[in-house]
Structure 1
Amino acid sequence: MRRRALLASAVLIPFTIAVTAACSGGTEAKPPAEAMKTAQQKLETAKAVTIDLRADLPKGVNGVSRANGTGIIDEKEPKFKGQVTGVIKGNPAGVDLIAIDDKTWITFFTKDYTEIDIEKELSAPNPAELFRPSSGVATLLPATTNVKAGEQERNGQAVLQRYTGTLPAAPIQKLLMLGDDAETFDVTYGVDVESEELRSVVITGEFYPGESTTFTLNLSGYGKTVDIQAP
């Protein structure tokens, strides 16, 4: 009997240690204010970042359902080059797009780029503005109120710390030219626990009148610049 008890203990002790280690592992969440400030600084000084933007558009509206590409972060001349999919003038379409400061070019049913005033002609935001430090994605972080640390989740090889909060409508309206009828939006940020970089932004609210819509922005490739020139 004693031998059986000793054998049982030999099995149970490593198992208990393994379970305890698994439950107690992970990095403790940074205080929300500190995490938001650091993530903002990391993004503003990254020089470049790759984005993947997705949106669940309501039926019958013009807008971007997906955009992916690389942005050059610069106050005077932000840039973007990538692909945009959505509904343009009532037509579903996918286009290549280049944006440099306030100028944009697209390949809309053409092989060559055509310059277009994307804000006036398509009522869409210039994607280069996402990468201007004083008015782009980075400005959403300090504008967020009631920020609280949530759970940690694995995203590929990275572990992201979730932070939830509330965004006033003004910065969203300015950045995305949407949400005129909204007062606030719910937001969840995913911050890499190792690099402290902002890796995801999920914003939900009344982007379109009477409709709750979610925009998801994933960020990667910090510092990996590409050459973006006017076509």
Structure 2
Amino acid sequence: MTRTHRSLLALAGLTLVLGACSGDEPEDEAPTTITPPPPTAEDRLEQAHDVLAEAGSVHLSLVGADLPEDENSYIISAEGDGTMVPPAFTGTITARLSGIQADVPTVALDDELWVKLPYVPAHVRTDPADLGVPDPAALLDPETGLVGLLQEIQTPEFGERARVGAEAVQEVVGTLPGQVVTDLLYAGDASSDFDVVFGLVEDTWQVRTVEITGLFYPPATSTYTVTMDAYGEPVTVTKP
């Protein structure tokens, strides 16, 4: 064998050795990206709960639908401004009182309610139970008011995407125990569940609407819809 042949064989052997060595080294693996699961309806309700609880104040309107005409006293609608700490409300309630519909200027503060009834020149202090209406300040309590309903909803699921004015909202649907509803609104069959639809503004996750349907005045099925906006804007409520 010539020197040239021996050199070629040696070179070939070296190449095989290097190739085998390089094959033993693991190739660099691309980093694994774990995509988190999409937010659930419960996740969005938790976000909305925190946003509303931290708002401090809101503008609130409430409208009833399919209300029975044979009932003596109930809320038809309400509109005003409120704070959460302390829970307080100032605005106007439209109600049926002893069979008569009236617009009632209302102030609720420190667990006290003042109303200006028709043909009465000034606000008078009264008990919500005497009028058959809820304390509007109770709706704004940061733990047991409308905020609390977000944690009481049962079997929440995503509903439709809708619009409230110019805003896109994601609906979350479910049910509320009757006792929770009656404790808050002073009306309803405590033994019956109520259907609820929360309208949550996409991106900010503000609660824009709360629609509750059920046996508020059995056997009639009625609906109350609450709309909240102006989160965190200055509100002052004083006793009249």
Q: TM-score, normalised by structure 1?
A: 0.83
Percent identity, aligned pairs only, is 31
Alignment of 1:1-231 (within 5 A): 30-56=39-65, 57-61=67-71, 62-74=73-85, 77-109=86-118, 110-119=120-129, 121-180=130-189, 182-231=191-240
Alpha-carbon distance in structure 2 between the residues aligned to 1:216 and 1:133: 19
Code of the residue aligned with 1:130 in structure 2: it is: L
Contact kept? 2:52, 2:206, Cα under 8 Å: yes
d(CA) in 2 for partners of 1:171, 1:191: 21
Residues 33-80 of structure 1 deviation map (CA, whole Å, 9 limit, x = unaligned): 111111111111111011110012211211011000011012xx3100
SS state of the match for residue 233, structure 2?
Answer: coil
What amino acid sits opposite 1:54 in the alignment? V
CA shift for structure 1 position 111: 3.3
CA positional deviation for 1:116: 1.0
CA distance in structure 1 between the aligned counterparts of 2:191 and 2:43, rounded to whole angstroms? 28
In 1, Cα distance between equivalents of 2:230 and 2:215 = 30
What residue identity is the alignment partner of 2:44?
A
Q: 1:123: how far off?
A: 2.2
Task: Provide, for residues 146-173 of structure 1, a one-character-per-residue CA deviation record: whole Å limited to 9, x for no partner.
Answer: 1111221122221100111011111101
The runs of 5 or more residues in structure 1 that have no matched partner are 1-28
SS at match of 2:79: strand
- For 1:139 and 1:224, the matched residues in 2 are separated by 21
Q: How many residues align?
A: 200
Q: Structure 1's 182 and 59: CA in aligned 2 closer, same or farther, altered over 3 A?
A: farther
Q: Runs of 4 or more off by more than 6 Å in structure 1?
A: none
Conserved 8 A contact 2:161-2:171: yes
Take 2:190 and 2:164, find their aligned partners in 1: how far apart are those partners?
A: 34
Contact persistence 2:179–2:191 (CA under 8 A): no
Q: Which residue of 1 aligns with 2:29?
A: none
RMSD of the alignment, in Å? 1.3
- For residues 156-209 of structure 1, the C-alpha deviation after alignment (integer angstroms, 9 at most, x for no partner) is 221100111011111101101111354200111100002111000111111111
Structure 2: how far apart are the matches of 1:30 and 1:159?
A: 17
Distance 1:30 1:222 in 2: 24
